[in-house]
């Protein structure tokens, strides 16, 4: 959900309860649009995150340490000057909006006590962090807004701070039953219940409006005319109680792969089946869980951008080459026709003369023996015409052999690049990316990786899972790791799994000299299906003993051959099942 006024209220309540009068020990700026205040009180140290970026704006307590730039930005240095050693004396929410006001007791340059304020406005693309003096004059801001940027509201040092204009809506915390039903009766009955809530009351995210309507009517896109007003007010009143009494139920929603898709300060039910809900003890732990994973995914995506571009461009070039070669191969299928013409000319040499442009003969290649017309070059003798056809036939035959070989090579290259793309999509850490980068370097893409120097060591390790019956599963994170896993780590009697004709990870079922159970086989095949490009409900997975796997000399990383194998058709294991069985 969006970080709305209700979530701001919940987050500020947690901050107020535990860290009023807390001391600021450090001021950090891990990102351009985020300030972290390390605060301390009663032997407890937490980070107060003030993020005003477009992707993850929020105010929260956090236990997650972040990497900071070696050289601190100018804003960070200025905030250290203002706030190091300061104490938080007041924590307020402005007009039930997404605006937090922190009052701080500080010291000026001469050592005299002064009051300063931090205003954190969590307002989408207009989010900002503004520092005020005791008289509400702006000292500095993360985003300076001058008259050229906005004629409505300027944020400039020296100007008096003005609260952004509030929307013409009611505060949901103070409205009573009579006012609720009055607004309900005046609203367009053809519009949805969600529209009524978000248009009438301030500070409520669309997702929360969906949840309230779902609880009242069993669906989210329900016209107001089809919703019982009394039931809607009952749900609304219970939601009011949660906010007024601070009776929060921090909840995280994840999809089957474990990716966070939503979070809330209350229970969420409208997302339906296929969604896993996790509950947390505090708002801060909820936001850490949601944004840590979101930030990790975004960071991995940013770090992998050049690799994704390289692989996608390589795949596009390879597909173009294959298309041209396949087209040329089709053109050279005419070779048999040239040979046929040469044979017909040779069979009729006794009746042909130089200068003829064509002749009619019986086509003895066809079982029906029809008459056909054969074209001739009048400049050549009949024998020379026949030799010309045979030369064209031999040329096509040679071209077909070369093209067939080249097509096989480029198809193998395309399969390899597709496998790299699969591993890029599933990369979990920067170590994973480092190994994929090294793999591409070793595979001949060094010229497209300017300035890259191969590392001496790589830290990435195979994923490890445990089957229900206690067997260890090892899963490769990339092609280089697939090779190491299959040919160096696995024992000869371990079982090797891989999706049939689909790029994916090598999966090793460790047997320790004992025969695995049927359930071990099924779960191992399901994991192989999960860590692959497969998308269908049933996935074909090949499996065999490791001793039957061979690697052709000079082949690409991850490429193997095998003959003695079985094929299982299984469903992909869910992300939740994988997390339960994971050892690291």
Assign 53 a pLDDT band (cuts: 50, 70, 90). Answer: confident
Which fold is adopted by the domain 5-141?
ibrinogen binding protein from staphylococcus aureus fold (2.30.310)
Token reading at 332: 């050279």
pLDDT tens per residue, range 13-48: 999 999 999 999 999 998 889 999 999 999 899 999
Say if CB 85 and CB 306 are below 8 A apart: no
Question: Per-residue pLDDT tens for 265-319?
Answer: 999 889 877 788 899 999 999 999 898 877 777 777 777 788 888 888 989 999 9
Decide if 5-141 and 177-301 have a common fold.
no
- Cα separation, 79 vs 48, whole angstroms: 14
> Angle formed by the axes of helices 193-200 and 206-217, to 10°?
140
Tell the CATH topology of 177-301: Helicase, Ruva Protein; domain 3 (1.10.8)
> Which of 43, 49, 39 shows the shortest CA–CA distance to 19?
39
- pLDDT exceeds 70 at position 575: no
Beta pairing partners, 128:
121
In the chain, where are the structural domains located? 5-141, 177-301, 311-420, 463-581
Query: Radius of gyration (Cα) for the chain, nearest Å?
Result: 35
Q: Which residues pair with 102 in a beta bridge?
A: 91, 118
Say which residues have a Cβ less than 8 Å from residue 374's Cβ, sequence separation at least 6. 341, 344, 345, 358, 359, 360, 361
pLDDT in tens, 122-173: 987 889 999 999 999 999 999 999 988 888 889 999 999 999 887 889 999 9
Yes or no: say if 544 and 528 are a contact pair by the CB < 8 Å rule: no
Which of 60-69, 83-92, 227-236, 442-451 shows the lowest mean pLDDT across its residues? Answer: 442-451
User: Is the predicted pLDDT of residue 459 greater than 70, yes or no?
Assistant: no
Non-local CB neighbours of 318 within 8 Å, separated by 6+ positions: 410, 413, 414, 417
- pTM for this structure? 0.65
Classify burial at 282, counting beta carbons within 10 Å of its beta carbon; exposed 0-12, middle 13-18, buried 19 or more: middle
């Amino acid at each position: 959900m969006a970080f709305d006024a209700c979530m701001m209220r919940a987050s500020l309540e947690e901050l107020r309860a535990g860290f009023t009068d807390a001391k600021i020990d450090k001021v950090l700026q891990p990102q351009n649009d985020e300030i972290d205040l390390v605060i301390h009180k009663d032997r407890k140290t937490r980070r107060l995150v003030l993020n005003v970026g477009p992707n993850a704006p929020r105010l929260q307590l956090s236990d997650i340490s972040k990497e900071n730039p070696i050289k601190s930005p100018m804003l960070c240095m200025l905030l250290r000057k203002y706030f190091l050693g300061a104490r938080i004396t007041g924590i307020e929410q402005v007009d039930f909006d997404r605006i937090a006001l922190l009052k701080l007791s500080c010291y000026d340059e001469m050592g005299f006590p002064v009051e300063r304020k931090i205003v954190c406005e969590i307002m989408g693309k207009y989010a900002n962090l503004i520092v005020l003096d005791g008289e509400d004059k702006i000292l500095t801001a993360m985003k300076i807004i001058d008259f050229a940027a906005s004629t409505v509201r300027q944020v400039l040092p020296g100007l008096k701070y003005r609260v952004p204009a509030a929307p013409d809506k009611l505060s949901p915390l103070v409205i009573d039953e009579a006012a609720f039903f009055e607004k309900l009766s005046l609203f367009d009955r053809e519009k949805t219940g969600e529209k009524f809530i978000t248009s009438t009351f301030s500070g409520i995210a669309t997702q929360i409006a969906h949840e309230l309507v779902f609880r009242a009517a069993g669906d989210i896109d329900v016209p107001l005319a089809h919703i019982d007003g009394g039931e809607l007010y009952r749900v609304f009143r219970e939601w009011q109680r949660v906010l007024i009494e601070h009776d929060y139920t921090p909840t995280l929603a994840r999809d089957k792969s474990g990716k966070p898709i939503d979070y809330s300060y209350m229970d969420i039910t409208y997302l339906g089946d296929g969604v896993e809900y996790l509950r947390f003890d505090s708002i801060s732990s909820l936001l850490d869980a949601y944004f840590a994973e979101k930030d990790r995914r975004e960071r991995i995506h940013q770090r992998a951008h050049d690799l994704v571009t390289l692989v996608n461009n390589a795949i596009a070039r390879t597909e173009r080459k294959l298309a041209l070669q396949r087209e040329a191969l089709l053109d050279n299928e005419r070779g048999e026709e040239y040979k046929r013409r040469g044979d017909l000319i040779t069979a009729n040499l006794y009746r042909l003369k130089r200068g003829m442009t064509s002749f009619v003969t019986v086509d003895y290649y066809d079982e029906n023996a029809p008459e056909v017309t054969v074209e001739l070059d009048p400049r050549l003798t009949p024998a020379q015409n026949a030799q010309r056809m045979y030369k064209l036939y031999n040329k096509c035959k040679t071209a077909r052999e070369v093209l067939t070989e080249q097509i096989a090579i480029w198809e193998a290259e395309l399969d390899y690049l597709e496998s790299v793309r699969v591993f890029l999509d599933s990369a979990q850490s920067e170590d994973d990316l480092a190994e994929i980068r090294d793999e591409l370097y070793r595979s001949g893409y060094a010229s497209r990786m300017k300035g890259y120097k191969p590392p001496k060591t790589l830290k990435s390790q195979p994923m490890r899972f445990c089957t229900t019956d206690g067997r260890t599963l090892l899963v490769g994170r990339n092609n280089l790791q697939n090779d190491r896993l299959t040919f160096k780590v696995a024992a000869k009697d371990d079982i090797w799994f891989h999706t049939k004709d689909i790029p994916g990870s090598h999966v090793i079922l460790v047997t320790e000299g004992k025969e695995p159970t049927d359930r071990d086989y099924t779960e191992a095949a399901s994991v192989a299906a999960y860590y692959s490009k497969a998308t269908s409900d049933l996935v074909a997975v090949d499996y065999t003993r490791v001793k039957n796997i061979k690697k052709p000399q000079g082949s690409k990383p991850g490429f193997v051959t095998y003959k003695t194998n079985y094929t299982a058709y299984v469903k992909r294991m869910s992300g939740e099942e994988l997390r339960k069985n994971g050892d690291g």
